[in-house]
A and B are shown apart, each in its own frame.
Chain A
């Protein structure tokens, strides 16, 4: 079974721009969660999607948003990028909402200049 895939793997943007990251979950998994990982804060939960609806949200500003499509693929968007948004963005999938083990993708490394 193929694992979680994320595109692109690396991205360089400048302040004020916006960015869209993509995640394809493991086949059959219906829940997709997004996390931000930085050296200082570690892994922090952004949001979880299930059946095309956001079901759970972490403590991030509204500049961070996402969506899920009918095939369970998910995208996250960050608008008006700030230097502090530089991080590794990780997507994880699980079979069901807030249940079971989450399996992570390789991440998208975002650098904001």
Chain B
């Protein structure tokens, strides 16, 4: 069964303390890996799409990377406004679980 696991479930950082979030996946055929940010009570906000191993994307303090089994979201010198839940999702070829399969997310808290 296609599966997406995110770790850690929660992460507390001090402002300026860089770290990485992990998204590991077990899928039959990857058609794309997506990172979203979700603030409480709001819909997920799109961050990055990655399609093939070795691909990297950057946006401000965030950098997403992809290997054949996992993706990392690196956060450099985070600020309190980066506090949110970060969701990883995959789209697979002929998946039985539907369109996008989401991980449970990593809740990031950045303290000033």
Give A residues with C-beta under 8 Å from B: 4, 33, 35, 42-48, 56-59, 88, 90, 98, 101-107, 109
Closest 5 CB pairs of A and B: A45-B98, A104-B43, A43-B102, A58-B98, A42-B104
Check A48–B98 contact: CB distance below 8 A.
yes
Which one, B31, B34, B43, B104, contacts A107 given CB within 8 A?
B43
Q: How far is the CA of A90 from the CA of B36 in the complex (A)?
A: 14
Known contacts A90-B43, A104-B43, A107-B42; is A43 also within 8 Å of B87 by CB? yes
Contact segment of B17-25, B44-52, B59-67, B73-81: B44-52
Give B residues with C-beta under 8 Å from A: 31, 34, 36, 41-46, 49, 87, 89, 91, 97-105
> How many residue pairs, one in A and one in B, have C-beta atoms under 8 Å apart?
59
In the complex, what residue of chain A is closest to B42 when comparing beta carbons? A106
In the complex, what residue of chain A is closest to B47 when comparing beta carbons? A101
Check B97–A45 contact: CB distance below 8 A.
yes
